[in-house]
Amino acid sequence: MYDASVSRPIVLPDPPLSDGRVTLRAWRPADVPRIVAMCREPDVIRFTSVPVPYDADDARLWLDLHPARLAAGDGAAFAITEGGDELPVGSIGVRVLHDQGVAETGYHVVEARRGRGLATAALRLIGGWTFAELPVARLQLTTHLDNPASQRVAEKAGFTREGVLRSWTDQRGERVDLVMWSLLPGDLGA
Ligand SMILES: CC(C)(COP(=O)(O)OP(=O)(O)OC[C@H]1O[C@@H](n2cnc3c(N)ncnc32)[C@H](O)[C@@H]1OP(=O)(O)O)[C@@H](O)C(=O)NCCC(=O)NCCS
């Protein structure tokens, strides 16, 4: 049973989370050029809140945040890799909302590797790890209404579509509606 009052450091899995094909590893300084390339892709700009424009300093600042976020138990970020290849093909992360006993996740996969099940596999790994390791009773994610690929990923990973949150957030100065999805521990393996 989760205890939302507990905020302990997050320890990244060792060995890294893997289903044998997709592996979620810690980010490294050497990944900066790849992070920049991913965060400049049009659909990543359109459907996530990455800074625009995005350059190497943004990537380094983002990497620098990770140790403190882990130590505070606030969240974790993973590079998605495929097979034995060390080059990241995507990104997935978890943020803990301590006061709610809830975690939020978000992800993206490089254009060249989409449509091969990578995001779904990564999200399934994150779902299992979240309920095994984090003090939360719910994992949620939000998708844009006009992002069918991400909605399909959520559905395939076992999330339930809960409804549309009208004017839910500000994305670079514009209010956007988002679809809320959730996964509960009992949904795993269903
Ligand atoms: C969303 C995203 C992560 C999906 O990554 P991916 O590795 O291609 O995902 P998967 O291969 O696991 O699954 C994609 C599913 O969406 C489907 N899909 C893709 N484009 C679609 C479209 N325009 N309409 C309907 N379904 C679509 C695919 O057919 C596949 O479903 P299937 O297995 O039933 O055929 C990737 O497109 C991306 O990075 N987009 C930009 C950033 C983003 O939107 N992030 C999510 C923010 S909530």
Whole-model pTM?
A: 0.97
- Mean predicted lDDT score pLDDT of the chain: 96
State which ligand 1 atom lies nearest to the alpha carbon of 142: 48
Q: How large a percentage of the chain has pLDDT more than 70?
A: 96
Does the residue 118 lie in any domain?
yes
Please determine, for residue 88, whether its predicted confidence score (pLDDT) is greater than 60: yes
Please tell me the total count of domains within the chain.
1
CB of 147 sitting under 6 A from ligand 1: yes
**Average pLDDT in the 175-180 region?**
98
Does the residue 173 lie in any domain?
no
The full 3-state SS of the chain, as one line of letters, equals CCCCCCCCCCCCCCCCEECCCEEEECCCHHHHHHHHHHHCCHHHHHHCCCCCCCCHHHHHHHHHHHHHHHHCCCEEEEEEEECCCCCCCEEEEEEEEHHHCEEEEEEEECHHHCCCCHHHHHHHHHHHHHHHHCCCCEEEEEEECCCHHHHHHHHHCCCEEEEEEEEEEEECCEEEEEEEEEECHHHCCC
The model's confidence at residue 6, banded by pLDDT at 50, 70 and 90, is: low
Give the residue numbers spanning the domain of 120: 17-139
pLDDT value, residue 84: 86
**Average pLDDT in the 115-132 region?**
98
pLDDT value, residue 7: 77
Does the residue 29 lie in any domain?
yes
Does the residue 144 lie in any domain?
no
Q: Give me the CATH number covering residue 61.
A: 3.40.630.30
Does the residue 156 lie in any domain?
no
pLDDT digits (tens, 9 = 90+) for 42-67: 999 999 999 999 999 999 999 999 99
The model's confidence at residue 35, banded by pLDDT at 50, 70 and 90, is: very high
CB of 159 sitting under 6 A from ligand 1: no
